[in-house]
């Protein structure tokens, strides 16, 4: 039980105990409100450069299940109230401490995560450090910033995942830091999915003659992805396009929209999203720190809003056969009642006649 400290940019210091990798860490401190899904949280590339607080008090009780990984971990640090060193699950292969050690992620437990979350909720996201001695000078915390996040979590790999059922469509997923669940959901619905890197040229995507294009989730400030936005502009109107999370924001920017940073973001499996022209409110899985300013969209219409703070959660662009959602319709892990988003995209693709000439 080695002592560890979580030091916040505003001067708060939390004392706890070390688990996982024994290393110092600096990152943007954020919280996620899911009761379950810590495996998907740890393996979601969108958490690049961030120290993650789990608001649910007990973490690790069902162990680590590699088949549920969403990708490689880019979490900077991990904060929990209590971690379970004796998981009980027939699918578990090892415990969470081993996972953190293997991935080089420092963790701290024994922290009052309720109080910590309240500080972030009231004051906004701030930088923090996990360390083993309290430093005399914490100016380094104010200097920390997340940059070039998409390039940090992606590579130049292009690969194809075959349809799990009879193939109906060919889909290109532009990988900005995608969750594996997006590819799996498309494959299960009869799509042959080709995953391409974020720096793939529009001309190369057009040469693949897909039936539709998905802009994936990913980390960081959407506005810094200038080349990706220019690529999307060249693809608009040629194919049906679905944007998810970061892809939603990039699609808005490609259409002249504006994005802004939220006070503390939306992260967890219990985010309520309300239909604008419907009667339903859906419980969704989300992980993002930025949002689209709805008034900045002139050629689209907002379709969903967050029931908590009214921020934009979806936009339709009917003139160019494109639409996007801020939440994750594949919901790994989380509720699956927005799976219809993929059905809408598949219906939009229709037949191969959607391909550009």
Residues 127, 150: Cα–Cα separation, whole Å:
20
In three-state secondary structure terms, 53 is strand
48 in Cβ contact with 69 (< 8 Å): no
In three-state secondary structure terms, 89 is coil
Residues 269, 235: Cα–Cα separation, whole Å:
32
State which H helix or E strand residue 248 sits in: helix 246-254
Burial 42-81 (b: 16+ CB within 10 A, else e): bbbbbbbbbbbbbbbeebbbbbbeeebbbbebbbbbbbbb
Residues 202, 129: Cα–Cα separation, whole Å:
40
Nearest CA-CA partner of 29 in 126, 142, 140:
126
State which H helix or E strand residue 181 sits in: helix 180-188
What positions carry a catalytic annotation? 245, 328, 330
The single-letter DSSP state of residue 94 is: B
């Amino acid at each position: 039980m080695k002592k560890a400290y979580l030091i916040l940019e505003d001067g708060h210091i939390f004392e706890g105990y070390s688990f996982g990798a024994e290393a110092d860490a600096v990152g943007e401190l954020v919280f996620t409100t899911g009761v379950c899904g810590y495996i998907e949280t740890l393996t979601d590339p969108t958490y690049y450069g961030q120290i993650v607080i789990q608001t649910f008090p007990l973490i690790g009780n069902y162990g680590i299940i590699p088949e549920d990984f969403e990708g490689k971990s880019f979490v900077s640090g991990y904060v929990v109230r209590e971690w379970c060193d004796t998981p009980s699950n027939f699918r578990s292969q090892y415990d969470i401490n081993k996972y953190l050690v293997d991935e080089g992620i420092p963790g701290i437990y024994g922290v009052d995560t309720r109080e910590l979350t309240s500080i972030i909720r009231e004051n906004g996201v701030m930088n923090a450090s996990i360390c083993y001695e309290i430093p005399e000078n914490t100016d380094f915390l104010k200097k920390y910033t997340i940059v070039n996040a998409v390039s940090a979590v992606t590579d130049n790999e292009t690969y194809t995942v075959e349809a799990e059922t009879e193939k109906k469509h060919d889909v290109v997923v532009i990988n900005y830091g995608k969750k594996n669940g997006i590819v799996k959901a498309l494959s299960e619905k009869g799509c042959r999915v080709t995953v391409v890197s974020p720096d793939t040229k529009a001309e190369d995507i057009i040469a693949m003659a897909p039936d539709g294009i998905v802009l994936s989730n990913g980390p960081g400030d959407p506005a810094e992805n200038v080349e990706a936005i220019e690529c999307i502009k060249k693809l608009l109107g040629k194919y049906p396009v679905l944007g998810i999370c970061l892809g939603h924001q990039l699609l808005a920017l490609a259409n002249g929209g504006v994005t802004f940073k939220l006070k503390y973001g939306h992260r967890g499996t219990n985010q309520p999203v309300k239909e604008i022209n419907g009667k339903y409110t859906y419980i969704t899985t989300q992980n993002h720190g930025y949002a689209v300013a709805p008034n900045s969209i002139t050629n689209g219409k907002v379709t969903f809003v967050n029931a908590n703070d009214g921020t934009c959660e979806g936009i339709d662009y009917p003139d160019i056969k494109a639409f996007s959602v801020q939440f994750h319709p594949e919901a790994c892990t989380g509720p699956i009642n927005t799976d219809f988003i993929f059905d809408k995209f598949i219906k939009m693709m229709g037949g191969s006649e959607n391909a550009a000439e």
